[in-house]
Amino acid sequence: MASHTTGDGGIPPRDAHERGLTRVMTLGGAYGTRNYTVKSLREQKGKRVLTETLPFSVAEALAAEEAGIDTMKVRFDPQNPDSAASIRRAAPNTFMAFSVPLIAAASAEQAVRIGYDAMAVGADAIMCQWSPRFIEAAAEAGIPVQGHAGLVPRRSTWTGGLRAVGKTVDEAKWVYDQIKTFENAGAYAVEVEVIPAELLLEISQRTTLMTSSIGAGSGGDIQFLFAEDILGNGPPPYPRHSKQYRELYKLKEAMQRERVAGFQEYIADVQSGAFPGPEHVIKAPDGLIEGFLRSLDE
């Protein structure tokens, strides 16, 4: 029997309920509290659009949870799980799908293993660019899986490069068929990237999967945007589908200029003799130096 020691920061059941959180046990065996479960997410389909982001740091994850982001994606490296685990700890109450590498699994068995590894460090689900066969294997093993359709960057050679997908009837039908294949394989959700907004609206109404839209308009169930785009971590140019709500890169540039200026002023002070000044040094007590020199002579 599993221990009933909480792994959720000690939030009592009543307090968790009052905060709108659900007590869960992860597939990895840890107790916790979450704002959503797979079941409650699916119950939101067609009722409201949820928000989703992908933080790249603990600070971003902390801010996203405090702001009230509904769900997060987190990049997961099976060779270095600590990064994802630290983000999980930073936002313990937010539903997270760990994004697993495409080329890390060369078989259905490896896909399950990687999925279990992600769940063991706190994932609530995995997001993947795997084939339906791998998705089916992971889903059969009890792992909630989110697929990826439309423009799949790492598979973009098959769709003509990094461009919009689904702008012809044949392509639109292909995207729809792909999503239905994921649905039949047992996925609970699908990220849909850079397809016409009207197409996603129609497809979303014809699948039971939660549709996470990135660059595909507002017709999905979840609106997804990277934290680096929301916060403006880097300078222009920006992806067409993104919006910058802050310009943190300007703050970073200003901080770097301040760093350089600080070092330059330090160098100048040392060279001019202004540093260290009397306030930065210890003054020798009366008689210390004389006594020290006499001791050397003796």
Q: 3-state secondary structure string, the chain?
A: CCCCCCCCCCCCHHHHHHCCCEEEECCCCCEEEECCCHHHHHHCCCCCCEEEEECCCHHHHHHHHHHCCCEEEEECCCCCCHHHHHHHHHCCCCEEEEECCHHHCCCHHHHHHHHHHHHHCCCCEEECCCCHHHHHHHHHCCCCEEEEEECCHHHHHHHCCCCCCCCCHHHHHHHHHHHHHHHHHCCCEEEEECCCHHHHHHHHCCCCCEEEEECCCCCCCEEEEEHHHHHCCCCCCCCCCCCCCCCHHHHHHHHHHHHHHHHHHHHHHHHHCCCCCHHHCCCCCCCHHHHHHHHHHC
171 is catalytic: no
Catalytic option among 193, 202, 228, 253: 193
Q: Give the active site residues.
A: 193
